[in-house]
Amino acid sequence: MIAMNVKVIWEMSEDARKILDIVEKRMTLAQIAEAKKLAREWVRKHRE
C-alpha cells in the first residue's frame, strides 16, 4: 500500500483497504512517488 505503515493498514476497515488497492492500481509510478513524498511531508508536519 502507498506509504502507509502497518499499524494504519491494520486499523483500516476492509472496505477502505479495497478502495485504496483500487486507487493504487490506477496510479502511475510517478503518481505513487509523489503520493509517498506528500505523505512523508504531512507526517513530519503533523507529528506531535
Q: CA-CA distances (angstroms) from residue 19 to 6, 15, 26, 45, 46? A: 17, 6, 11, 26, 24
Confidence of residue 14 (pLDDT cuts 50, 70, 90): confident
Q: What is the pLDDT of residue 6?
A: 57
Q: Is the predicted pLDDT of residue 26 greater than 90, yes or no?
A: yes
Confidence of residue 9 (pLDDT cuts 50, 70, 90): low
Q: What is the pTM of this model?
A: 0.55
